[in-house]
Structure 1
């Protein structure tokens, strides 16, 4: 067999990930707040970008004309770039002043440490105890538990054990009740002590039968303590009202979070109006002053290449933002059409839906739909939902139709909410109830949905 060489030409199409395409993809998948930060960063890095005023003019166009201007010659680009003055200093608009108003700032809740330090400062204690108290507060985790031992505090501060225990006892009397405990049992017992004299059975259960209580074995607790199960039930109700994580209700440093909906749906009669909420995104445009630099002669090739690249990047960003708005509008319009019953009547009527169905209707790729709905929120008359919520898997019904998982969860809550507390519905009975409605579902799926909804098993829901 002869071995030879040949040269063949082959023509094929291949998608090249250009910087412009990468930027368009990035912009599409950002939420409104993330896009606002992204645009602000681009404004700092790209001189061709500037903020557009509400009247349609750019900020630079609205600047007052200088009293004396050289009409013979323009400044060359070196002078333009060497401008030392803050370009924003001369045009602080009234809108900028309004944005800095007190009503536009998000208030920050105190952290657990700040809340405890304030109480420590108001306590009539000595300097050593106060110093130890500050050390203890600094060693609390986000749930309010102490994550160091008495011996470690003694070694770290060089103080006596009695002083550490005195400071620990003091901090444990602070609000929130149960703070600075070393384990769950101590946390609950401290809360019981602060509630005042109560049922001694509550303390006995916490001290000796916490594991049985967590597993719902009330009958076993009643046998061990030789008390009626009804009394154990009442004590368990008291314990369930205690807070196992007393520090978790306080903010962590920099933990202030809020949601800005990317899309707002307003019901007008029988129709829904779609509003793309871009109020948080700076409106950007191309700077005329920098664009004029490209029209001048005498620029060296390197400078011209830089200006052209910056202009192209700025133009692509403006186009990407507009394309994001158009895509988001089209996707929302399709979701309103496909999930109209959900919007009109509630979660029970949410239909099964996947990305492919929306992509086929809009003539787009599934990945585009995925990026367009990622990290986005939509405000509806029913409340604010993540856009991914509109996409729900479905289960087969007896008649061949599909029911969405969210609809089944809604019905599951209704079934359990209406059950007899003394004879709660187990998973098998729930399967049978769904079957009577024509919905085929397994016990494993019921258990999975219960866990996702935070609903315990029937044995733990039983009342005596």
Structure 2
């Protein structure tokens, strides 16, 4: 009975290790997977690399060059955040949701999806959602997971224990005025001294508006190796996985006397095969769901969430999130990040397009304010708050009204 219990415990441990390897391989970019394969081949005699026919043209002393050798190796923000999460005592549910969140950060480290979508996707209570984001906000660099610049600044101030209601009100309502140094105006509206306004400015200037600055994020890769190619063949979309993205491996021997190395080799091969199969299933469904994008461009993207794809493929949302992490595909519309095909609301694409058009056609000596843009959008049938307009404008990389204005002198 005692022996049986120990046997079950060991089997459970092996299963957990297998699952962990499979999940790690699934979320790896091609460059990271290439490094893992080379490392495992060097230390495991049961593994060997299978070179493609093209590689056979090289002598045994000359290693075939790989485009991945030229991928810039910067510190990954995602790896840094995941490492911090690994030290925290979290439930599996909370840990999975935290991983999901950090895989949905943009170049600045801001949240690229809404909190409401996260709440609905994982069926969270308001208190659970708040607790999860408190975990995210505790991670370094501070400000990660913010919804916008104002949120980012307030998160950093909270971490510094500077929860001043007047300061928070200044950030929420007068940040642009502060940038324009309208100290008199701010002081009068907040009923504080000009010196206090200036002290607030000095404090805000110690904060980082772009917490992801200095960290490598997927779409900043200098040389991108697409995981697959989507092309139009006879007016139909076809997906072809890029089999040259990383070296192929196989068992070097069927001798299983070295059981540990044999099992490790087998597990790695299976994990890579599963990665291929999962990615292929996702991409084949994506070209159906977003077919108009591949033919006509980004204006034709439709609303699509990870949950939609997960439900149809009978996979967990976290599996989809891992599978598309830091992965790119070559398409008729150029090389794109797979996650860009997931749209919380296709309406936001139309709204952003209209904002771009309004600003392109504006009087450069009297540019449109966010309030005016909100009014113009309402006339087009879109009820969008001023704050949301500011958020979309920021995401488009368009400067504020004051910064866009051409001065007459």
- Which residue of the partner structure matches residue 447 of structure 1? 390
- Which residue of the partner structure matches residue 365 of structure 2? 422
- Cα distance change, pair 319–434 in 1 and its aligned pair in 2 (3 A): same
- Cα distance change, pair 372–32 in 1 and its aligned pair in 2 (3 A): same
Deviations 1:308-333 (A, max 9, x none): 12111111211211111111111111
Number of residue pairs matched by the alignment: 257
Superposed, 1:141-152 pairs within 5 Å as: none
Q: Secondary structure at the match of 2:329?
A: strand
- Which residue of the partner structure matches residue 259 of structure 1? 224
Deviations 1:209-240 (A, max 9, x none): xx99x7399xxxxxxxxxxxxxxxxxxxxxxx
1:285 aligns with 2:285: no
Structure-2 separation of matches of 1:92 and 1:263: 25
- Which residue of the partner structure matches residue 40 of structure 1? 38
Q: Secondary structure at the match of 2:357?
A: helix
With the length of structure 2 as denominator, give the TM-score of the two structures: 0.56
Structure-1 separation of matches of 2:279 and 2:38: 21
1:353 aligns with 2:296: no
Structure-1 separation of matches of 2:375 and 2:235: 37
How much does 1:432 deviate? 2.5
**1:355/1:370 contact within 8 Å kept:** yes
Structure-1 separation of matches of 2:344 and 2:296: 19
Q: Secondary structure at the match of 2:250?
A: strand
Structure-2 separation of matches of 1:104 and 1:22: 25
How much does 1:420 deviate? 2.4
**1:46/1:314 contact within 8 Å kept:** yes
- Which residue of the partner structure matches residue 105 of structure 2? none
**2:227/2:245 contact within 8 Å kept:** no
More deviation, 425-434/38-47: 425-434
Q: Secondary structure at the match of 2:262?
A: helix
1:369 aligns with 2:315: no
Structure-2 separation of matches of 1:360 and 1:434: 34
- Which residue of the partner structure matches residue 119 of structure 2? none
- Cα distance change, pair 362–450 in 1 and its aligned pair in 2 (3 A): same
How much does 1:348 deviate? 1.9
1:381 aligns with 2:332: yes
Q: Secondary structure at the match of 1:274?
A: strand
Structure-1 separation of matches of 2:181 and 2:317: 46
Structure-1 separation of matches of 2:314 and 2:65: 43
- Which residue of the partner structure matches residue 264 of structure 2? 313
Q: Secondary structure at the match of 2:225?
A: coil
**1:341/1:350 contact within 8 Å kept:** yes
Structure-2 separation of matches of 1:95 and 1:414: 58
**1:350/1:407 contact within 8 Å kept:** no
Of 265, 273, 285, the residue aligned with 1:334 is 285
With the length of structure 1 as denominator, give the TM-score of the two structures: 0.49
Task: Give the superposed CA RMSD.
Answer: 3.5
Structure-2 separation of matches of 1:440 and 1:338: 27
- Cα distance change, pair 100–334 in 1 and its aligned pair in 2 (3 A): closer
Superposed, 1:23-422 pairs within 5 Å as: 23-54=21-52, 93-94=58-59, 97=62, 99-100=64-65, 106=70, 215=180, 257-288=222-253, 291-292=254-255, 294=256, 304=257, 307-394=258-345, 403-422=346-365
**2:31/2:71 contact within 8 Å kept:** no
Question: 5+ residue gaps in structure 2?
Answer: 1-11, 73-175, 183-212, 214-219
- Cα distance change, pair 104–35 in 1 and its aligned pair in 2 (3 A): closer
- Cα distance change, pair 40–338 in 1 and its aligned pair in 2 (3 A): same
Structure-2 separation of matches of 1:258 and 1:55: 24
Q: Secondary structure at the match of 2:240?
A: strand
**1:392/1:404 contact within 8 Å kept:** no
- Cα distance change, pair 376–407 in 1 and its aligned pair in 2 (3 A): farther
Structure-2 separation of matches of 1:278 and 1:379: 14
RCO (CA 8 Å, sep 6+): is it higher in 1 or 2? Answer: 2
Q: Answer 1 or 2: which has greater helix percent.
A: 2
- Cα distance change, pair 369–423 in 1 and its aligned pair in 2 (3 A): same
- Which residue of the partner structure matches residue 89 of structure 2? none
**2:49/2:249 contact within 8 Å kept:** yes
How much does 1:444 deviate? 0.5
- Cα distance change, pair 404–41 in 1 and its aligned pair in 2 (3 A): farther
Q: Secondary structure at the match of 2:399?
A: coil
Structure-1 separation of matches of 2:347 and 2:250: 44
